[in-house]
Every structure is written in structure tokens, then in C-alpha cells.
């Protein structure tokens, strides 16, 4: 069916915004329920059946609160930062291929685009922290910057291994290349013996995506018991709400990227009925793992975090890159 490009863009825009908004709202619910189960509690159960209306109630509560702009903040930037924080996640979703037909916009360098926008997300955190004029917020935003810088490098290095295998940075091409059963996926790729090293890439990429999205155990920027709420300390009402939503959208983007790069996108593990449902299943499994990890470990320190990146992740991903290049070249 051919539709006018403008209508198509509009439909996708609405669809993606709904997807992002619903995810942001209901991932909070999932997180709270998941945490509760791990801690052997029930979790939200009062608003709606099994607390399913809780996100709605939370949203209403946040929206009806006053957006406080304290004295001494840079008012314009302070208001701008949470809005901008939402952007990178939304833009990144546009290039994610949910299935071979369901993709808002195909791009040659779509993987690169996502990384570029992830850095913009980090800038928003810096902006929010800086504009707040709060000492906790500033410490937090500087932490966020050094953390994101440190983890972008190993993340990109592992993406290069994928690019070497597939020969493209187009997410759709990468996913198409992995169609078929489990052993065609990049993670378990039998062809060219990539199964031998790919799990290292996967683990590094997964850890980096947790660190990039500022999730525990790498939530140094929020670090509740040290920095109160980090860069969000001065935010109230929807300013805070938008930052929270941005965090969850970033998690979704991270999971989508992991699923596309390593887990065969919309491919079925047994080669049956590939489609967007497999993709969605994979991202939610990944998201659940991220939640599971968050509720298991204590937080690390900023210098350990940087050490982990510079002394473990980067050397490992470099060696991994060399081996992959060798495999591609000689096999």
C-alpha cells in the first residue's frame, strides 16, 4: 500500500510517540512490580487491577504539581533541559527496525545516528545539572559526562565488530543479515566462527548500555544516597517526570539496539514466523534483565566505574575487535 510520505511520517510519529510514552509509563510499573517480586512484596496494587492504573495516577500527580523554578537557577536552560532530554530517545526510535516492514525511517548510518543522539542525551543531563545551580546536581552532571564518555568508546568498538561482519552500519541491513534460526544471529553466529568471540562483544555491549542509560549499578549520576537525586534534585512536577521518562525511553532504545545488533532483530530463534512480535519479546526480555540487575547489586564508585571502562572494557573490546577482524579476513 502506497501512502503519501507525509501521511506515513505522521502515522509513524504518532505511533512512536505512543510507543515511547506507553513504555515509559508502564516500564515504571514493571520495574516496581519486578522489584517487589524480587523483594517478596506485592508492589503497586491499589490503583486499578494489580496497580495497572498506577502510571496514570503517577502521571496525573506529577502534572498537577507546581513546577518550581528556584531562585538562582538559569531559568531558560532549567526548563529546556528535561524537554531536550526526551528528544534523543524519540529520534533514535525512528531508525529502529521493528520488522522488515515496520521502520519509520531507513538510514545508511542509523547505528551511528543512535550513538550521536545518545551523546546529546548526556548533554541534557549536563544542562539540567548546570542550570540547577545545585552542588549535588553539578557533581552529578560531571559524573554523568565522564561516565558516558568512558562507556561510549567500548560500546562503539563492539559495534565495529558487528560492522566488520555485516559490512554495514544500517540497522536494517544488520538485522536482515541475521535472518534465520538462532545460529544466524550475530551472538551465536556459526558462519565464520564468530560464536567464539561474539559473546564478549555482547557482554561488553550490554554492560555499556546499562552504563550509558545511567542504570544501577552504574547510576552514579542519580546516586540517591550520595547526591540526593543528582541532576534531578531541583526538578519537580513534569520536569522530573520528563527526565524519568527519558531514562526509560533510553532503556528501550538500548534494548532495541542490543536486540538488533546481536539477537537477530525480528528473527525467530527457530526460524518460524519472524515478525515484530519476536522483536518486542526480545527487547522485553532484555529490559527485564536490566531491571533484575538493578535490584540485585549495590552501586559502584565513580573511579571504579571509569577503571572498569578504561582497564577492562576497552582492552577487551580492542582485542576482540582484532580477533573478529582476523576471523573476517582469514575465514
312 is an interface residue for other proteins by CB under 8 A:
yes
Residue 234 Cβ, how far from other proteins at the closest point, in Å?
Answer: 15
Of positions 5, 6, 39, 273, contacts other proteins by CB under 8 A: 39
| DSSP structural state of residue 95 | T
Residue pair 272/116 in contact (Cβ under 8 Å)? The answer is: no
Phi and psi angles of residue 226, each rounded to the nearest 5 degrees, phi first:
-105, -50
Q: Quick check: 42 binds other proteins (CB under 8 A)? A: yes
Which of 297, 310, 322, 326 binds other proteins (CB under 8 A)? It is 297
Distances 223 to 80, 91, 241, 243, 280 between C-alpha atoms, Å: 23, 27, 18, 15, 30
Q: How far is 139 from 130, CA to CA, in rounded Å?
A: 9
Given the rule CB under 8 A, which of 68-76, 274-282, 294-302, 319-327 is the region that contacts other proteins?
Answer: 294-302
Q: Cα–Cα distance between 51 and 58 in angstroms, integer?
A: 11
Identify which range of 59-67, 114-122, 132-140, 317-325 contacts other proteins by CB under 8 A. 132-140
Stretch that binds other proteins, among 68-76, 231-239, 250-258, 289-297 (CB under 8 A): 289-297
- Which span (11-19, 76-84, 153-161, 223-231) binds other proteins, by CB under 8 A? 223-231
Other CB atoms within 10 Å distance of the CB of residue 92: 27
Q: Does 216 bind other proteins (CB under 8 A)?
A: yes
Task: Give the span between the Cα atoms of 76 and 59, in whole angstroms.
Answer: 24
Binding mask 224-243 for other proteins (x = CB under 8 A): xxx-x---------------
Kindly state the DSSP code that residue 313 receives in the 8-state scheme. I
| Cell reading at 238 | 513534569
Least distance (Å) between residue 316 CB and other proteins: 9
> What distance in Å separates the CA atoms of residue 139 and residue 129, rounded to the nearest whole number?
8
C-beta closer to other proteins: residue 15 or 217: 217
Give the binding site for other proteins (CB under 8 A). 34-35, 37-42, 135-136, 139, 143, 216-217, 219-220, 223-226, 228, 292-293, 295-304, 307, 311-312
Amino acid at each position: 500500500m502506497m501512502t503519501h510520505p507525509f501521511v506515513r511520517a505522521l502515522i509513524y510519529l504518532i505511533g512512536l510517540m505512543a510507543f515511547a510514552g506507553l513504555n515509559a509509563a508502564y516500564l515504571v510499573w514493571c520495574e516496581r512490580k519486578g522489584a517487589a517480586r524480587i523483594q517478596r512484596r506485592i508492589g503497586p496494587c491499589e490503583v486499578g487491577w494489580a496497580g495497572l492504573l498506577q502510571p496514570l495516577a503517577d502521571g496525573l500527580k506529577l502534572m498537577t504539581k507546581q513546577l518550581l523554578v528556584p531562585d538562582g537557577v538559569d531559568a531558560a536552560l532549567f526548563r529546556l533541559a528535561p524537554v531536550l532530554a526526551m528528544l534523543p530517545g524519540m529520534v533514535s526510535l525512528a531508525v529502529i527496525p521493528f520488522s522488515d516492514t515496520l521502520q519509520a525511517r531507513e538510514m545508511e548510518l542509523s547505528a551511528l545516528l543512535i550513538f550521536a543522539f545518545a551523546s546529546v542525551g548526556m548533554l541534557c543531563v549536563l544542562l539540567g545539572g548546570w542550570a540547577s545551580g545545585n552542588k549535588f546536581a553539578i557533581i552529578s552532571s560531571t559524573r554523568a559526562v565522564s561516565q558516558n564518555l568512558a562507556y561510549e568508546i567500548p560500546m562503539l568498538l563492539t559495534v565495529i565488530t558487528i560492522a566488520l561482519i555485516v559490512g554495514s552500519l544500517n540497522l536494517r541491513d544488520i538485522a536482515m543479515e541475521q535472518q534465520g534460526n538462532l545460529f544466524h544471529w550475530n551472538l551465536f553466529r556459526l558462519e565464520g566462527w564468530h560464536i567464539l568471540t561474539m559473546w564478549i562483544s555482547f557482554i561488553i555491549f550490554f554492560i555499556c548500555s546499562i552504563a550509558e542509560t545511567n542504570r544501577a549499578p552504574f547510576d552514579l549520576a542519580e546516586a540517591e544516597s550520595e547526591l540526593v537525586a543528582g541532576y534531578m534534585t531541583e526538578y519537580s512536577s513534569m520536569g522530573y517526570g520528563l527526565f524519568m521518562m527519558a531514562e526509560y525511553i533510553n532503556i528501550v532504545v538500548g534494548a532495541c539496539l542490543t536486540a538488533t545488533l546481536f539477537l537477530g532483530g525480528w528473527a525467530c530463534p527457530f526460524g518460524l514466523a519472524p515478525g515484530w512480535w519476536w522483536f518486542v519479546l526480545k527487547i522485553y526480555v532484555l529490559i527485564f534483565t536490566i531491571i533484575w540487575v538493578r535490584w540485585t547489586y549495590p552501586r559502584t564508585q565513580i573511579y571504579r566505574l571509569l577503571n572498569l571502562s578504561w582497564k577492562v572494557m576497552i582492552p577487551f573490546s580492542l582485542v576482540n575487535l582484532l580477533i573478529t577482524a582476523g576471523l573476517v579476513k582469514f575465514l
